[in-house]
Amino acid sequence: MGIIVSEVLDVLDIAAADIEVPPDFREGKSRPHFFDGEAKAGDDIIMLLNADNLIKHLEPLEVKAGDDAEAVLAEHPLFCPDATPREKAVFRERAHNLRQSGEDAGLSGQMPVAVVGIGGEYFGLDVGLVREFTDVRRVTPVPCCPAHIVGNMNLRGNIVTLVDIRNLLNLPSGGPNALKAVVAEMGETLVGIAVNEVFDIAYLRQSDMIAVPSAATSAEKYVKGTAPYGGRMMTVLDLRKIFAEGELVVNEEG
């Protein structure tokens, strides 16, 4: 089941002792209760949804053969019930375009990449190796490590080493500090890549990729190719090669 949300803010571990029993929102026993409780996170109060009840009491919308799907949806508003007729028309057009593009092209044969910003440039990272995105909060420096090792982060009990790959890509090391981290899974090891921003998940066709003619510079051997994105060119990186050959691993015996 998927739930449409406006924004994903964070992933938190909440202790059971910090969860308070929710007030009774029901108007009679026949109405399902969709809240498990509420918890405090800093100055915010988070309402915890009961996923089982949401799924159990979701009223299925049946569209039979021969029915006008748009008419059925009009009688059973599932999204923005207060939308104006013009807004509803926009929603229908978007849904039609998404369905049509999926039927025409599909996603098979396309490569999903996470589009990130590093040093003012667009880079694409193989989503298959990406575990999650997170904010860079408290980073503990590691003594006697090279400059590309920013430090260690605690990610819900897992220690993640944050690395800076700007020098590897021949990018200036100055500028604003990294605010986000792309957490990649390399075997059994979690590594965080420091980035300035996470923009999007994009799907690239092979025909959109422009191969690098030759590794004229040391940075180009870590590049799979380039592709247009947002009116600019995005560089698609080879994460496996970066971690295998980029000399990012610190030799503890050295």
Residue 187 lies in a domain: yes
The last residue of a domain, from among 74, 106, 138? 106
**CA triple 205-164-166, angle to 5 deg:** 65
- Number of structural domains (the chain) is 3
Domain match, 74 and 196 both: no
Instruction: Convert the pLDDT of each residue in 123-163 to its tens digit.
Output: 999 888 888 888 888 888 888 777 788 888 888 888 888 88
The residue range of the domain holding 54 is 1-58
- DSSP conformation letters of 151-176: EEEEETTEEEEEE--TTTTT--S-SS
- The count of residues in the chain is 254
Instruction: Convert the pLDDT of each residue in 105-121 to its tens digit.
Output: 555 578 889 999 998 89
Domain match, 47 and 166 both: no
Q: Could you tell me the sign of the dihedral formed by the alpha carbons of 121, 127, 129, 133, in that order?
A: positive
How is residue 22 annotated by DSSP?
Answer: P
- DSSP conformation letters of 185-209: EETTEEEEEEESEEEEEEEE-GGG-
Tokens of 210: 């422009």
Domain match, 22 and 87 both: no
Which long-range contacts (C-beta less than 8 Å, at least 24 apart) are formed by 94-101? none
Helices H, strands E: what count in the chain?
Answer: 4, 13
Residue 252 lies in a domain: no
Domain match, 47 and 117 both: no
- As a whole number of angstroms, the longest Cα–Cα distance in the chain is 73
Instruction: Convert the pLDDT of each residue in 189-229 to its tens digit.
Output: 788 999 998 988 888 888 888 887 765 666 788 888 999 98
pLDDT of 53: 81
**Interacting residues of 70 by C-beta distance below 8 A, sequence separation 6+:** 92
Residue 254 lies in a domain: no
Q: Which of 11-15, 106-110, 126-130, 235-239 bottoms out in mean pLDDT, i.e. has the lowest?
A: 106-110
**Interacting residues of 52 by C-beta distance below 8 A, sequence separation 6+:** none
Instruction: Convert the pLDDT of each residue in 28-81 to its tens digit.
Output: 444 557 788 888 877 778 888 888 888 777 766 565 666 666 665 555 555 566
Domain match, 37 and 118 both: no
Residue 13 lies in a domain: yes
- Kindly report the pTM of this predicted structure: 0.56
Tokens 């981290």 belong to residue: 181
Side chain identity at 190, as an amino acid letter? L
